[in-house]
Structures are given as structure tokens and as C-alpha cells.
């Protein structure tokens, strides 16, 4: 007697049901992942506070870290701290990089104050050791900054994810 090696009707039905279940799970997983908002991304200014209020809060947070500067939103939604190069009492800051780190620490409090989080954080600070008009622009992804604030990244790990660009700001034209 010769026996065929094909699948029985019952086995075919079980395989079809399992295949349909797998496809349903894959589709559900795809829709969940595809429709999920990115972690840490949010509207630049929350509905409860205006952009001007968040800018004032940013300036206050800088002052609490002994830094003088202004806060603004860039067109791409990034939060920018523009430091004057002085501390809150008017003394010149000795190192641009140290001031930038202090400003990054201040930025961590923005969401607790009802502003952000923002996709990117930028700190623009005069570089006293650079050429006249020299500035340092430090930029970091908000998710990395938040992880650093929670202790999930150490200073070295955050530093490897920070982009720092030195540039010369043109002097205003004198009449």
C-alpha cells in the first residue's frame, strides 16, 4: 500500500487559520508602530502657555543657572538659548563650552515648567577664546538630553552625541 505524503484536510485548515492569525498580528503591529508618535517629540509650545511665556521661562531658568541670555524657538521647532557671554551679575564667562553645558542643564526644566519638550536643543554662546565675534553653537537631540538628565547617559556619552560648531558672527555695520 502506497501512502501519499500530502496534508490532510484538517491540517490544511489549521495552517490556513494560523497563517491568517499571523497576518492579523503583523498588520496590527505595523499599525501600532506606524501610528505611534515619536518618543520625546511634542508641539513646540504647549496649549496652556504661549511662546512668549515659554521664552520668559527659559530666560528665568538661565538666570537660575547664573547665565544671562534669551530664549527663542527656531523655525524648525528647536529651542535655542542665546547666551550673552556674561553671567547673571554681568561678569564675562571664561569658557563657552562650560556655559553651554550649564544651559543644557537649565533646558531640562522646561517641560516641568509647562514648555516643550522640543525636538532639538541649541545653545549659542560667545567664545571668549576664539576670534573676535566668535561663537559656539551646541546642538543636541532632546531625547539624548533628557536621558542625560535622568542619568541614563553620562557626560561623555552625551558629549559624543552633541554637535558643536564654532563660527564668527559678523559685526554690525557702523554708519
Q: Where are the domains of the chain?
A: 8-37, 51-168
Neighbours of 62 (CB within 10 A): 26
| 116: nearest Cα among 143, 155, 150 | 143
| 147: nearest Cα among 123, 122, 124, 117 | 117
pTM: 0.67
The DSSP line for 144-166 is: HHHHHHTTSS-HHHHHHH-EEEE
pLDDT in tens, the chain (175 residues): 555 567 788 888 877 777 777 776 666 666 665 654 444 444 444 435 678 888 999 999 999 999 999 999 999 999 999 998 888 788 887 788 888 999 999 999 999 888 888 999 999 998 877 888 888 899 999 999 999 999 999 999 999 999 999 888 776 434 4
Tell me what pLDDT residue 42 has. 41
| 59: nearest Cα among 11, 8, 109, 21 | 109
Amino acid at each position: 500500500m502506497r501512502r501519499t505524503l500530502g496534508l490532510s484536510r484538517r491540517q490544511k485548515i489549521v495552517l490556513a487559520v494560523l497563517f491568517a492569525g499571523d497576518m492579523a498580528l503583523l498588520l496590527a503591529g505595523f499599525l501600532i508602530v506606524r501610528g505611534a508618535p515619536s518618543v520625546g517629540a511634542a508641539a513646540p509650545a504647549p496649549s496652556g502657555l504661549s511662546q512668549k511665556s515659554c521664552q520668559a521661562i527659559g530666560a528665568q531658568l538661565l538666570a537660575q543657572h547664573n547665565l544671562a541670555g534669551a530664549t527663542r524657538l527656531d523655525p524648525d521647532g528647536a529651542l535655542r538659548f542665546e547666551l550673552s557671554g556674561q553671567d547673571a551679575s554681568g561678569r564675562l564667562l571664561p569658557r563657552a563650552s562650560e556655559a553651554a553645558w550649564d544651559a543644557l542643564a537649565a533646558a531640562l526644566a522646561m517641560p516641568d515648567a509647562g514648555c516643550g519638550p522640543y525636538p532639538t536643543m541649541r545653545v549659542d554662546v560667545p567664545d571668549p577664546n576664539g576670534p573676535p565675534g566668535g561663537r559656539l553653537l551646541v546642538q543636541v537631540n532632546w531625547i539624548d538630553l533628557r536621558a542625560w538628565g535622568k542619568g541614563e547617559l553620562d557626560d561623555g556619552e552625551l558629549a559624543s552625541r552633541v554637535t558643536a560648531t564654532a563660527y564668527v558672527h559678523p559685526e554690525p555695520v557702523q554708519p
